[in-house]
Chain A
């Protein structure tokens, strides 16, 4: 049941009506109903994996209680380690088994041992990376005493499998979702209307934009050796917009759906392509994942390393920067690996990690330089140049992210920077490009808002409805073919 399907529209309508009209008198019934709806939603993909989701949620519920109720630090730590091993072990088996086995066989063949290809292939359960991360944050927050273990099993299970976020986020940590689950929810007209608007915008960017960009982008990446440099450049631009439209579209539908049910989820994208530097980009792209890695990996590593280092410089590098480098490299290696079991994702992560380190390193010299030559930090030309450079870095990294192998990504980039870069592109999807321009312009104008369809400043209902009708008909008339959400594979 995809968010952009008629089945989901029916499902959501039924859930909405029962939720607000039948089980609305009692919070317990509401939560139980939402939990059942979440399991129906997840089970509609593959009911076998529903048992995996329930098992993971139950185990984490029990571990949470055991961490909380033990007074002794040692026992708490043992339970936490058990929880970490369990969650990461499950993720490792389901997501990385094939990758590690294949890599081992390849490595063995490099040193002369021919091992047979493994015939066991493990199917990746949908959304596993997301609900494992929810579970990890649940037990980690209890261990750090940021959250008290909840003994109500329904509430905990719901926080770990809430259907708007179960498949591809936002990774709304139980520490912020559980308080909303526990409290009685009232229907608020403005919130529900805003939820519908956000869903509409999400559907627009997914169906009318991402799904129209997918076929030409796929074609160019699949057959890149036959295309000119200019076409490949167009391909990488199309993919850059496609992945943003696809994932931000999904997030908008998820957040909007939650709003209809009286929940507030965190913003997952904040117009990232208008970022001036790579640090800003990562504050605005997939915010729930970035903050997750920041809080549970980057900061703990930074603190752990800083406790051990007593010198001012290490390898001629200032300790502060050295710590940043170590923590960044580990975090971005794992961020890349989180996205998928392929070396391309690791390289993608390392490119971002590398540029973040470079940015950190040049921050002070840059400030001095600007002061010396007398350029204001908010100079329009400077802002435009820096935004452009950031976008180029992001696009370059997307080529690795999208390619099937590192070799193909390198070949792709080589072909881009060839003499044929100065020819007219062989592929030029006019409608998709026109919709992209409408999208970028709307996002730019509305960049201060939570989503681009927040139109409360337009007083007249007729105008607002006219805009909604326009969007609905663009979706109906120009919507692309049926495409799954890209982030479902992660």
Chain B
């Protein structure tokens, strides 16, 4: 028994020390190459950020001078640290479009995106080196197991990014998300299910709100235009439940200095939707072309840099 315990403890100690050492080393390595990893082309001055709504809706190859770095299930905490580090190395960025949909402002979603195993592991693997101690503490306090697993996965992810940083040629930033060519089709299934959903009591996502405010402040400090973007949603009954709309409006009102581009009621045919809230690749193509035209018309408009915040979209149909 004694030798069993000694051998086992020794093994665990060695694994732990090695893992810790590698974790520190990988963090150091990726931080050394951050400027190479995060530097984007000089002609890109528009950045699309946020969750899967943006990830699937904006095909950045169709919108000139833009990059989409949104990622599914991305809480604003990660968006904030991504933006902060991106702006450090790219002073050409002038406009940030950030996803602002119902999913982003509800506590239920916040809990899942910030603290569930699935998302903590995935996000920590990619963004741990960008987080500060208080962000890390928040995650460790709520889900230490998942944080540890994500940290271990970040070792390989960091080293991989480190090696690739010497030969980056693509448009994307490694591990930073990007346009998702969505083929999934579960719209009809979602419509059926959605009819059964009742307008229950919803709570505001406080952590999400806090980081959205920080994003807004950061943009103001750097004189960057921040646009809250609500992408097209399917016109199924019950998608716009009142309680959610109230929370959405209250957060929007606290960010009154930033522009809002609410295109949630922009009408697209059913074939453009993957489900009730996500556009598929067909919808993304149409929507990106629409955005391109809007941005182009705004560039020609000399009265103000961007007027899109005042666009009324209810009758806007591509």
Please report A residues at the B interface, Cβ cutoff 8 Å.
5-7, 20, 187, 189, 192-193, 196, 219, 222-223, 225-226, 465, 468-469, 472-473, 476-479, 481-482
Q: List 9 A-B contacts (CB under 8 A).
A: A6-B144, A196-B8, A226-B183, A476-B155, A477-B153, A477-B156, A478-B153, A479-B153, A482-B117
Determine if A5 and B183 form an interchain contact, defined as CB atoms under 8 angstroms apart: no
- Measured between beta carbons, the chain B residues less than 8 angstroms from A482 are 117-118, 121, 146, 149
A18 to chain B, nearest CB (A): 14
Provide the bound-state CA to CA distance between A431 and B7, in Å. 32
A473 to chain B, nearest CB (A): 8
B184 at the A interface (CB under 8 A): yes
B22 to chain A: closest residue by CB: A473
B155 to chain A: closest residue by CB: A477
Determine if A469 and B14 form an interchain contact, defined as CB atoms under 8 angstroms apart: yes
Other than A6-B148, A226-B184, A476-B152, give 9 A-B pairs with Cβ distance below 8 A: A6-B144, A6-B145, A20-B1, A187-B4, A468-B11, A476-B153, A476-B155, A477-B156, A482-B117
A187 to chain B: closest residue by CB: B1
Q: Which residue of B15, B145, B152 is within 8 Å of A469 (Cβ)?
A: B15
Determine if A223 and B152 form an interchain contact, defined as CB atoms under 8 angstroms apart: no
Given A472-B15, A479-B153, A481-B121: A223 in contact with B185 (beta carbons within 8 A): yes
B317 at the A interface (CB under 8 A): no
B122 at the A interface (CB under 8 A): yes
B111 to chain A, nearest CB (A): 15
B10 to chain A: closest residue by CB: A465
B195 at the A interface (CB under 8 A): no
- Measured between beta carbons, the chain A residues less than 8 angstroms from B122 are 481
Q: Which residue of A222, A472, A479 is within 8 Å of B149 (Cβ)?
A: A479
Provide the bound-state CA to CA distance between A193 and B186, in Å. 49
B100 to chain A, nearest CB (A): 27
Q: Which 10 A-B pairs have the closest CB atoms?
A: A482-B117, A476-B152, A477-B156, A6-B145, A226-B183, A223-B184, A481-B118, A187-B1, A472-B15, A189-B4
Q: Mark B152-189, 1 if CB is under 8 A from A, else 0.
A: 11011000000000000000000000000001111000
Provide the bound-state CA to CA distance between A431 and B203, in Å. 40
B311 at the A interface (CB under 8 A): no
B19 at the A interface (CB under 8 A): yes
Given A223-B183, A226-B183: A478 in contact with B11 (beta carbons within 8 A): no
- Measured between beta carbons, the chain B residues less than 8 angstroms from A473 are 18-19
B132 at the A interface (CB under 8 A): no
B315 at the A interface (CB under 8 A): no
Determine if B121 and A5 form an interchain contact, defined as CB atoms under 8 angstroms apart: no
Kindly name the residue among A7, A189, A225 whose own CB sees the greatest number of chain B CB atoms within 10 A: A189
B168 to chain A, nearest CB (A): 20
A214 to chain B, nearest CB (A): 11
- Measured between beta carbons, the chain B residues less than 8 angstroms from A20 are 1
Kindly name the residue among A187, A479, A481 whose own CB sees the greatest number of chain B CB atoms within 10 A: A481
A466 to chain B, nearest CB (A): 11
Determine if B11 and A465 form an interchain contact, defined as CB atoms under 8 angstroms apart: yes
Main SS of the interface on chain B? helix
Which B residues between 132 and 156 are near A, CB-CB below 8 angstroms?
A: 144-146, 148-149, 152-153, 155-156
B3 at the A interface (CB under 8 A): yes
Provide the bound-state CA to CA distance between A124 and B184, in Å. 30
Q: Mark B12-25, 1 if CB is under 8 A from A, else 0.
A: 00110011000000
- Measured between beta carbons, the chain B residues less than 8 angstroms from A187 are 1, 4
- Measured between beta carbons, the chain A residues less than 8 angstroms from B15 are 469, 472
B183 to chain A: closest residue by CB: A226
Provide the bound-state CA to CA distance between A482 and B124, in Å. 14
Q: Which residue of A192, A225, A226, A469 is within 8 Å of B4 (Cβ)?
A: A192
B116 to chain A: closest residue by CB: A482
A387 to chain B, nearest CB (A): 35
B148 to chain A, nearest CB (A): 7
- Measured between beta carbons, the chain B residues less than 8 angstroms from A223 are 183-185
Which B residues between 44 and 69 are near A, CB-CB below 8 angstroms?
A: none
B295 to chain A, nearest CB (A): 31
- Measured between beta carbons, the chain B residues less than 8 angstroms from A477 are 152-153, 155-156
Given A187-B1, A477-B155, A482-B117: A5 in contact with B145 (beta carbons within 8 A): yes
Given A469-B14, A477-B152, A477-B153: A225 in contact with B185 (beta carbons within 8 A): yes
- Measured between beta carbons, the chain A residues less than 8 angstroms from B117 are 481-482
A10 to chain B: closest residue by CB: B145
- Measured between beta carbons, the chain B residues less than 8 angstroms from A6 are 144-145, 148
A192 to chain B: closest residue by CB: B4
A75 to chain B, nearest CB (A): 49
Provide the bound-state CA to CA distance between A193 and B7, in Å. 10
- Measured between beta carbons, the chain B residues less than 8 angstroms from A472 are 15
B198 to chain A, nearest CB (A): 14
B206 to chain A, nearest CB (A): 25
- Measured between beta carbons, the chain A residues less than 8 angstroms from B144 are 6
B274 to chain A: closest residue by CB: A223
Provide the bound-state CA to CA distance between A469 and B10, in Å. 12
A21 to chain B: closest residue by CB: B1
A117 to chain B, nearest CB (A): 11
- Measured between beta carbons, the chain B residues less than 8 angstroms from A465 are 11
Provide the bound-state CA to CA distance between A192 and B7, in Å. 12
- Measured between beta carbons, the chain A residues less than 8 angstroms from B149 are 476, 479, 482
Provide the bound-state CA to CA distance between A17 and B227, in Å. 58
B158 to chain A, nearest CB (A): 11
A438 to chain B, nearest CB (A): 16
Provide the bound-state CA to CA distance between A189 and B3, in Å. 8
A482 to chain B: closest residue by CB: B117
Provide the bound-state CA to CA distance between A8 and B69, in Å. 37
Which B residues between 68 and 121 are near A, CB-CB below 8 angstroms?
A: 117-118, 121
Determine if A476 and B184 form an interchain contact, defined as CB atoms under 8 angstroms apart: no
Determine if A226 and B11 form an interchain contact, defined as CB atoms under 8 angstroms apart: no
B122 to chain A, nearest CB (A): 7
Provide the bound-state CA to CA distance between A193 and B6, in Å. 12
Determine if B184 and A222 form an interchain contact, defined as CB atoms under 8 angstroms apart: yes
Determine if A193 and B4 form an interchain contact, defined as CB atoms under 8 angstroms apart: yes
Provide the bound-state CA to CA distance between A219 and B3, in Å. 47
- Measured between beta carbons, the chain B residues less than 8 angstroms from A189 are 1, 3-4
Provide the bound-state CA to CA distance between A331 and B215, in Å. 62
B52 to chain A, nearest CB (A): 14
- Measured between beta carbons, the chain A residues less than 8 angstroms from B14 are 469
A193 to chain B: closest residue by CB: B4
Provide the bound-state CA to CA distance between A252 and B155, in Å. 28
B12 to chain A, nearest CB (A): 10
Provide the bound-state CA to CA distance between A222 and B275, in Å. 13
A366 to chain B, nearest CB (A): 45
- Measured between beta carbons, the chain A residues less than 8 angstroms from B18 are 469, 473
- Measured between beta carbons, the chain B residues less than 8 angstroms from A468 are 11
B145 to chain A: closest residue by CB: A6
A226 to chain B: closest residue by CB: B183
- Measured between beta carbons, the chain A residues less than 8 angstroms from B156 are 477-478
Provide the bound-state CA to CA distance between A473 and B144, in Å. 19
Provide the bound-state CA to CA distance between A219 and B117, in Å. 19
Determine if B118 and A476 form an interchain contact, defined as CB atoms under 8 angstroms apart: no
Provide the bound-state CA to CA distance between A5 and B149, in Å. 10
B144 to chain A: closest residue by CB: A6
B9 to chain A, nearest CB (A): 11
